[in-house]
Structure 1
Amino acid sequence: MRLSAYPAFTATAFQSRLAYRNQVWSGVFGELVATFAFIAVWTAAFASTGSVDGVTLPDMVTYVLIAGPLLHWNTTPFIRDVGEAIRTGNVTAYLLKPLHYPGLLLFNQLGNSAFEQLTITLPVLVIVALTVGLLPPAGAAHAMLFLLYWAISWVMLFLIATIIGLLAFWVLTAFALDWFLRGIMAVASGAIVPLWFMPAPLAAVLGKLPFAWVSYYPSAVYLGKLDLPAALLHLGLGLVWLVVLGGFLAWLWSRARHRLIVQGG
């Protein structure tokens, strides 16, 4: 199948989500509750001090908004689609079509993510920004770099989640894999606690793993916690991770296809 045909999967995924409008309201409400809960925690933590290691309460409120609703992408749809296709056997239909299954997942999840960003994330950001406040980017260069980091964030999570999801070909279930990845992402991505508040040895290790490019580094760039040389350096490292994970995903899918044939006899 030609590459030009794949965007149709993005449009279909986006349009299919329009049929479940009640999920939008519940999604906005749930995201607002989680966001304000984190803001309340950090407000209490900064109640007796103006700043901690150069980080202020407005910094943390903005970090919560960026690393939370904007960048803390939901991994469940990524893994659920793979697990459901394996459980029902529908994945075999994709093998009979002239398309690349991970590529189909990429464009399908792009549609789902675009829908959630427009209908859930954007309203939450507007509501919280108007009620609590949101700091602007540290500068024009940081704002431009943040957009690049935002794109890397999504692709990075897609690769990580799809790699974990493809393990369902071996364990035959995706439910436990989803919980496993969500637990890792909550800590290693910096979505809940920024790496700058973690013990130095742990932060040094997590800062070199691909999870940090999902939430921590984009948020740090937005706030100016990374100067421009450091931001450019980590941008390059993030691109290297994308190449490594993309290659591993391609290899894993080639193995998974053979695994599926063995299961089918």
Structure 2
Amino acid sequence: MIYRAATLSSVASTLLSFAIQICLWYALLGTGLQDGTRFTDMVLYVLVNMFVSTLTRANIATTIEAAVVDGSIAMEILRPISYKYYLLSSIFGRNAFSVVTNVLPVVVIGAFFLGGAQLPGAGGAAAFAVSLVLGVLLMFELTYTFGLLAFRIQRCWFLNWYVSALTTFFGGTAVPLWFYPEVLQAVSYALPFRYVAFEPVNLLLGRTPAGDAWMPILCALAWLLALGLLGRLMWRSAVRGLTVNGG
């Protein structure tokens, strides 16, 4: 009964969040266009962002902090499996459950607001799918890289807040980047956050033509490889300098 109540309250919270965003964008856009943006575009935008944020929600820094403080990190390192993929697999399992129970009902309801939406062709849909997968993996790498800082600073309850804030602001998860001033748009191109959900949505809405999809996809791949390499170097450095009290 406890888990049922928690699940139902989480579903209600997700539906309320979706309703608030839809009402807000309907009030701002109405049924017309604003800077080339339709109301149905924003419905798709909200749905995709909700899916990505739910699937990649993680607080790896706090998990590592607790393991370092109580010394259980020593046993985690000795296991014959990758600690990184152990963390990501457990997070993905929990988040996949949230996607099924929280996001799918919202998608069903959101479908009623998509009348007249212009969906991409087969090429655009394939590019969107590839970009979305890369965005999910990129967000996992970002949370893992930030989480490894827990080995150095230990008290890191605030790191998840920074990741969330940077993703919201420079990733355009709350307000699309096409509404941003040119200066902030230029800054976002130099950061990885826009490739998590914003660029996949651009492909879905046709703002980025399918023929030009290779650019955001290559940028996402480059950031994914760079963060993967950085994470490996940080992990090796952390393990070498790790000291566990009592062992």
Settle same-fold status: TM greater than 0.5: yes
Match of residue 160 from structure 2 = 178
Is the Cα contact below 8 Å between 1:75 and 1:182 reproduced in 2? Answer: no
Deviations 1:169-227 (A, max 9, x none): 11212311111111111111110011111011211220331111111011111111101
Shift of 1:122: 1.1
- Quote the sequence identity (%): 31
When the two structures are aligned, how many residues end up with a matched partner? 245
Q: Normalising by the residue count of structure 1, what TM-score does the alignment of the two structures yield?
A: 0.84
Which of 221, 234, 245 pairs up with 1:252? 234
Which of 27, 30, 45 pairs up with 1:44? 27
Is the Cα contact below 8 Å between 2:124 and 2:206 reproduced in 1? Answer: yes
The amino acid of 2:156's aligned partner reads A
What is the alpha-carbon distance in structure 1 between the residues aligned to residue 60 and residue 97 of structure 2?
14
What is the alpha-carbon distance in structure 2 between the residues aligned to residue 173 and residue 28 of structure 1?
32
The amino acid of 1:102's aligned partner reads K
Match of residue 15 from structure 2 = 32
Q: 1:140 to 1:157 in 2, by over 3 A?
A: same
SS of the residue corresponding to residue 158 of structure 2 reads helix
Gaps of 5+ in 1: 1-18
What is the alpha-carbon distance in structure 2 between the residues aligned to residue 80 and residue 139 of structure 1?
42
Shift of 1:157: 0.7
Match of residue 220 from structure 2 = 238
Is the Cα contact below 8 Å between 2:14 and 2:106 reproduced in 1? Answer: yes
What is the alpha-carbon distance in structure 2 between the residues aligned to residue 56 and residue 128 of structure 1?
15
Shift of 1:119: 1.7
Which of 69, 72, 80 pairs up with 2:53? 72
Task: For 1:1-265, list aligned pairs within 5 A.
Answer: 20-47=3-30, 50-67=32-49, 69-73=50-54, 75-130=57-112, 132-133=113-114, 135=117, 137-261=119-243
Alignment RMSD (CA, Å): 2.2
The amino acid of 1:158's aligned partner reads F
Q: Normalising by the residue count of structure 2, what TM-score does the alignment of the two structures yield?
A: 0.90
